[in-house]
Amino acid sequence: MPPEAEEQIKRQALDSLVLNRAVTQYVRDAGFRVSANRVVDYVRSLPVFQVGGQFSKPAYDATLAAQGITPMAYEQEQQALLAVRQLQEGIVESSFFHTHGIPPPHRPRPGAPGRCLRCPGSPGHRGRHHGQRCGRAVLLRRKLEPVSSSPETATIEYVEVSLQDMARDYTPDEEALRKAYEADPTRFRTAEERRARHILITVDANRTDSAARALADEISGRLAKGEDFAALAAQYSGDPGSANRGGDLGFAAPGNYVEAFDKALFALKPGETSAPVKTEFGYHIIRLEELRQGAEKSFEEVRAQLTDELRRQKAQDEFYAIAERLR
């Protein structure tokens, strides 16, 4: 991807995140709340999580796991989005539409109550068919006598609900912590990553498939004789994103590349170079430069993190339930 396009996409993504955070904060401060039960009902209604028209817990878990999202994070996100939707629906349902915009200020014609100088039509026309509302105002003035006054006072009762206090009062048990740890087997596991270089010989209007394969075979032979991979990549590779870096693709986990490329890369040992591999982009010559082993955090390593998450989840559920009752 050209640097200009990448920068534009990053800027658009950042602007979207800032706008989303600002709206979410406004909705929260304005008092919009969505209960946990409503979130559950909404999630169960989504077709993507249904099998045969009925909500399926295995489908729900599998779909989120495939996207690298935990149920807790997903449901918290939906709770925030539903609150935003309350605001949006309130704006839409209370909007007023007019067909011709707002005309300049005008006054009723003297002696013709209800008739407007700028509203055409019959004498019965009252200016409401063009998005206008015509009327008169009378200002009544009265001389006020000075009176003695005292500051206004009020007697109030209030209930303060603190999310932080509610979270502090809850301690999840061992079973709940274990269940949260085992809910997503991939969450605390990092996959093996490989750093590769490649030389792409493209098939296009200027080069046939057989010509591309012949050139790829020639370059493979030159590499076998000890020529520099980075220099050949800079000279021949049709991948503009990596050619000027000697074909370096950086680190990637399994599944990041198209199937044929991925399979060839993860069959190599560090320092090995593949034979030409055909994909829809052309022929690739792949070298594995470095391997970074995956790792998995133990239950004890993430115990404190899980405890904090479960405390927040429990507090939020109770907080929204109490907020609904108070409202």
Q: Determine, yes or no, domain membership for 146.
A: no
Q: Are 26 and 310 in contact (CB under 8 A)?
A: no
User: Could you tell me which residues are beta bridge partners of residue 282?
Assistant: 202, 279
Range of the domain at 50: 12-91
Q: Determine, yes or no, domain membership for 243.
A: yes
Q: Determine, yes or no, domain membership for 121.
A: no
Q: Determine, yes or no, domain membership for 117.
A: no
**CA quadruple 308, 314, 317, 318: dihedral positive or negative?**
negative
Q: Determine, yes or no, domain membership for 193.
A: yes
Q: Determine, yes or no, domain membership for 124.
A: no
- What is the per-residue pLDDT for 276? 96
- What is the per-residue pLDDT for 237? 95
- What is the per-residue pLDDT for 25? 87
Q: What backbone torsions phi and psi does residue 69 show, to the nearest 5 degrees?
A: -120, 135
Total count of residues recorded for the chain: 327
Residue ending a domain, choose from 91, 110, 139: 91
Q: Is the pTM of this model over 0.75?
A: no
- What is the per-residue pLDDT for 148? 66
Q: Determine, yes or no, domain membership for 133.
A: no
CA distance 192 to 311: 32
- What is the per-residue pLDDT for 53? 85
Q: Determine, yes or no, domain membership for 266.
A: yes
- What is the per-residue pLDDT for 45? 93
Q: Which three-class secondary structure string do you get for the chain?
A: CCHHHHHHHHHHHHHHHHHHHHHHHHHHHCCCCCCHHHHHHHHHHCHHHEECCEECHHHHHHHHHHCCCCHHHHHHHHHHHHHHHHHHHHHHHCCCCCCCCCCCCCCECCCCCCCECCCCCCCCCCCCCCCCCCCCCCCCCCCCCCCCCCCCCCCCCCCCCCHHHHHHCCCCCHHHHHHHHHHCCCCCEECCEEEEEEEEEECECCECHHHHHHHHHHHHHHHHCCCCHHHHHHHHCCCCCCHHHCCEEEEECCCCCCHHHHHHHCCCCCCCECCCEEECCEEEEEEEEEEECCEECCHHHHHHHHHHHHHHHHHHHHHHHHHHHHC
Residue ending a domain, choose from 50, 68, 91: 91
Specify the number of domains making up the chain.
Answer: 2
**One digit per residue, pLDDT tens: the chain, 327 residues?**
888 889 999 999 999 889 888 888 888 888 888 888 889 999 999 999 998 888 888 888 888 888 888 888 899 889 988 988 888 887 777 665 544 444 444 444 444 444 444 444 444 444 444 455 566 777 777 776 666 667 888 888 887 777 777 777 778 889 989 998 888 877 888 778 899 999 999 998 889 999 999 999 999 999 999 999 999 999 999 998 899 999 999 998 888 899 999 999 999 999 999 999 999 999 999 999 999 887 788 888 888 999 988 988 888 888 888 878 877
Q: What is the CATH number of the domain that holds 227?
A: 3.10.50.40
- What is the per-residue pLDDT for 102? 45
Residue ending a domain, choose from 91, 113, 147: 91
